[in-house]
């Protein structure tokens, strides 16, 4: 199956670089390019790609608003945000509106391609180290904290797993920490996705943060 990609970035060179790399990949193709958020929404609606690679900062409509509109569509394309993490205050907002992860613009192209594959497969892309940085960043902002979220209907073990997901642990790390098998850890995560209504692991991290299960110190 070919992974159909829309590239949305106001920098033509960024789009051209990614497009050239994707052109050499047999099972992946760029089906559209957008220079504004509004164009990205239009292309995503018309072309129904598997993945939209979206710059956060774009004219007319920024990447967050564009992502909000795109993730409400059906079927839902997966959205990967492009950002310069150290300077961008909008990463958290982009994840809240439905993005499946984010990439740093200076990542190697091969890593960006790998990320597109991960997201196209239905998973979320959020590395443990990045998760910890996000949580620290959110907690130290002067903006009011999100309302404390009440998570009900989960077992104590599932609450433990959710806390560890929020700390950025992979399934294998969770398994080692709780002395359970990797398959059991995966099952707990799958049940948490169902019970919390989260669409992917990224939203589980957000849920753990909003419920007060994680903090910058873990």
Is residue 154 assigned to a domain? yes
Is residue 50 assigned to a domain? yes
Contact yes or no for 151/207 (Cβ under 8 A): yes
Is residue 116 assigned to a domain? yes
Is residue 218 assigned to a domain? no
**Dist. CA 80–CA 7, nearest whole Å:** 10
Q: Is 120 a residue whose pLDDT tops 50?
A: yes
Based on the fold, state whether residues 111 and 167 are members of the same structural domain.
Answer: no
| Domain at 79, CATH number | 3.40.50.2300
**Tokens, residue 200:** 């992917």
The 10s digit of each residue's pLDDT in 76-102 is 789 998 876 554 456 667 777 888 877
Contact yes or no for 63/54 (Cβ under 8 A): yes
Based on the fold, state whether residues 148 and 108 are members of the same structural domain.
Answer: no
**Dist. CA 199–CA 3, nearest whole Å:** 20
Based on the fold, state whether residues 70 and 159 are members of the same structural domain.
Answer: no
Least confident of 12-26, 54-68, 81-95: 81-95
Determine if the pTM surpasses 0.85.
Answer: no
Handedness of CA 194, 197, 201, 205 (dihedral sign): negative
Based on the fold, state whether residues 79 and 54 are members of the same structural domain.
Answer: yes
The 10s digit of each residue's pLDDT in 36-54 is 999 999 999 999 999 999 9
Residue that finishes a domain, picked among 90, 125, 160: 125
Based on the fold, state whether residues 78 and 161 are members of the same structural domain.
Answer: no
Q: Is 127 a residue whose pLDDT tops 60?
A: no
> Higher-confidence residue: 171 or 66?
66
Is residue 137 assigned to a domain? no
State the average pLDDT over residues 183-210: 87
Residue that finishes a domain, picked among 99, 125, 151: 125
Share of the chain above pLDDT 90, in %: 42
Based on the fold, state whether residues 23 and 50 are members of the same structural domain.
Answer: yes
The 10s digit of each residue's pLDDT in 135-190 is 556 555 555 455 567 898 999 999 999 999 888 787 888 999 999 998 999 899 99
**Percentages helix, strand, coil for the chain, rounded to the nearest 5?**
50, 15, 35
**Dist. CA 167–CA 218, nearest whole Å:** 6
The HSE-up count of residue 156 (CA atoms within 13 Å, CB side) is: 0
Q: What pLDDT shows up at residue 32?
A: 96
Q: How many domains does the chain have?
A: 2
| Domain at 163, CATH number | 1.10.10.10
Q: Determine the 3-state secondary structure of 172 from DSSP.
A: helix
Based on the fold, state whether residues 49 and 149 are members of the same structural domain.
Answer: no
Residues 6+ apart with CB under 8 A from 195: 153, 154, 158
The kind and range of the H/E element at 102 are strand 102-104
**Dist. CA 99–CA 69, nearest whole Å:** 11
Based on the fold, state whether residues 113 and 53 are members of the same structural domain.
Answer: yes
Q: Which domain holds residue 88?
A: 3-125
Length of the chain: 218
Q: Is 126 a residue whose pLDDT tops 80?
A: no
pLDDT band at 207 (very low <50, low <70, confident <90, very high): confident
Is residue 32 assigned to a domain? yes
Q: What pLDDT shows up at residue 144?
A: 47
DSSP string, 38-84: HHHHHHHHHH--SEEEEESS-SSS-HHHHHHHHTTSSSPPEEEEEE-
Residues 6+ apart with CB under 8 A from 30: 5, 6, 7, 18, 19, 22, 23
């Amino acid at each position: 199956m070919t992974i159909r990609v829309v590239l949305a970035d106001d920098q033509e060179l960024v789009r051209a670089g990614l497009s050239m790399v994707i052109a050499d990949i047999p099972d992946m193709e760029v089906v559209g390019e957008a220079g504004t958020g509004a164009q990205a929404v239009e292309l995503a609606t018309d072309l129904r790609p598997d993945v939209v690679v979206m710059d956060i900062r774009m004219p007319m409509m920024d990447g967050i608003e564009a992502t909000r509109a795109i993730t409400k569509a059906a079927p839902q394309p997966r959205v990967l945000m492009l950002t310069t993490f150290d300077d961008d205050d909008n990463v958290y907002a982009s994840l809240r509106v439905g993005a499946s992860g984010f990439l740093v613009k200076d990542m190697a192209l091969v890593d960006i391609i790998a990320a597109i594959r991960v997201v196209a497969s239905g998973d979320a892309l959020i590395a443990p180290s990045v998760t910890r940085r996000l949580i620290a960043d959110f907690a130290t902002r002067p903006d009011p904290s999100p309302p404390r979220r009440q998570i009900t209907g989960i077992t104590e073990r599932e609450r433990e797993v959710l806390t560890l997901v929020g700390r950025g642990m992979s399934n294998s790390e969770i398994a080692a920490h709780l002395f359970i098998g990797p398959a059991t850890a995966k099952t707990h995560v799958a049940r948490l996705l169902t019970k919390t209504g989260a669409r992917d692991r990224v939203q589980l991290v957000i849920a753990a943060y909003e419920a007060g299960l994680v903090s910058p110190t873990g």
